[in-house]
Structure formats: structure tokens, C-alpha cells
Amino acid sequence: MNDILWGKVKENASAADILITRDCTTLAIDHGHAALSCGDGKTVEHYGPKSGGLKGATGFSVYADMAVVWRHCKTLRIYECNQVVNDTPKIGEDALSKKIVDYAKNNLVGWKYAINANRRNGNYVNCATLIWKAYYANGIEFQGYWADSYIGGMFMPSDFVIENSDKLSMKYTLGWGHTKPYVWGADG
């Protein structure tokens, strides 16, 4: 990604936004990758297992510079949660976006990786369940496709993309080729 596009990505990534790429596959499974933007040029995310080959992968979730992964993506979408956007804090209260980011930084960094991490329990996360947990701890539950229909309640990056609710809005896209809703794996 060139400097101009990278500037647009950084400009569009606000606190509590969800970054999604289709660039990541394991054993020919197109699972993608997801991260929670902290709004400060950093993310809370899980790069996967140490042996996964992704730069920075230690097997534990991290609070890291956004550029480690996202500067090198060929496909990228940034989603915002409508409830977060519409949240107007009362005097002396933190905005919902800050609460979500703070929860992730304080409670979800250092977790071990499991591809099939259960979103509701367990001691493991994958990149998408980490985000799910940060939102859920703040009263927002994403449904997703995989969550209730596959491997005991896991959540995948594609679940955010195909979320069929009024909870998410796409605010930026790069390399997807269109702006309409995306059916994972079906419409390049």
C-alpha cells in the first residue's frame, strides 16, 4: 500500500473501529484477519500462533502499532459500530468507544491463541473473538454466522463482514473492488 492509501487508512481508523482483511489464509482456508482500532495508530489484536508466519506473532494477543500488519494489506475494510457512533456521553462519563478500547487493552492483551476460540468463555481468543469480547463486555453483541452454527460458538473475521444487522457500517474499503455487502469467498 502506498503512502497516500496508508494515510487514508490511518485517517479513517477511529477508536473502537473494526479492521478486516481477506489477506490471511491457513491451509487454504480463507479466514481473513481482524483487529480493534484504538484510535491512536495502534490496535489490539491477535496475530495468531507463533508458528503462523505473520510478522509479530508470539501466540499472545497484543496492543501494537497498526502498521505491523495493516500497512501491508491488499484488502482492507474499516467498520464502525452504529451504537458507538451514536453514543453521546454525559458529563463525566467516557464515550463508549473509549470503554471498548480500554476493556480490550486492560483485559484482552496477553491471551493465548486458538483458531476455534469460543466467544463466550474459555481462556483463548482468535482475532475476531477478541473484538467480540471487547464489544460484548460493553453491552453490544454481534450475531455473525459462525457464532451459533459452527464449532461451539467461535467468531471469525467474516462474521463482521456479513453481520446482517444495523450494528455495523462500512466506513472505508480498499482492494475489495466494491462497496456493497460482501459474501465471504463468493464475489472477489
Contacts of 39 (CB under 8 A, 6+ apart): 13, 14, 15, 16, 17, 97, 101
CA 44, 46, 49: angle at the middle one, nearest 5? 160
Q: Give the pLDDT score at 157.
A: 84
Strand, helix or coil for residue 104:
helix
Q: Give the pLDDT score at 186.
A: 47
Task: Give the pairing type, strands 112-113 and 124-125.
Answer: parallel
pLDDT at 25 > cutoff 70 = no
Cell, residue 49: 500462533
pLDDT tens, 58-82? Answer: 889 999 999 988 998 888 999 999 8
* Most confident of the following: 52-66, 135-149, 170-184: 52-66
Contacts of 71 (CB under 8 A, 6+ apart): 1, 6, 9
pLDDT tens, 90-122? Answer: 666 678 999 999 999 999 999 998 888 888 777
How does residue 147 score in pLDDT terms, banded at 50, 70 and 90?
low
CATH match of 3-174 with 3.20.20.80: no
pTM, two decimal places:
0.87
Domain boundaries, the chain: 3-174
Cell, residue 3: 503512502
pLDDT at 29 > cutoff 80 = no
- Mean pLDDT of the residues in the chain: 82
When comparing pLDDT for 39 and 116, which is higher? 39
Residue 163 backbone zone (phi > 0: left; psi -120 to 50: alpha; other: beta) = beta
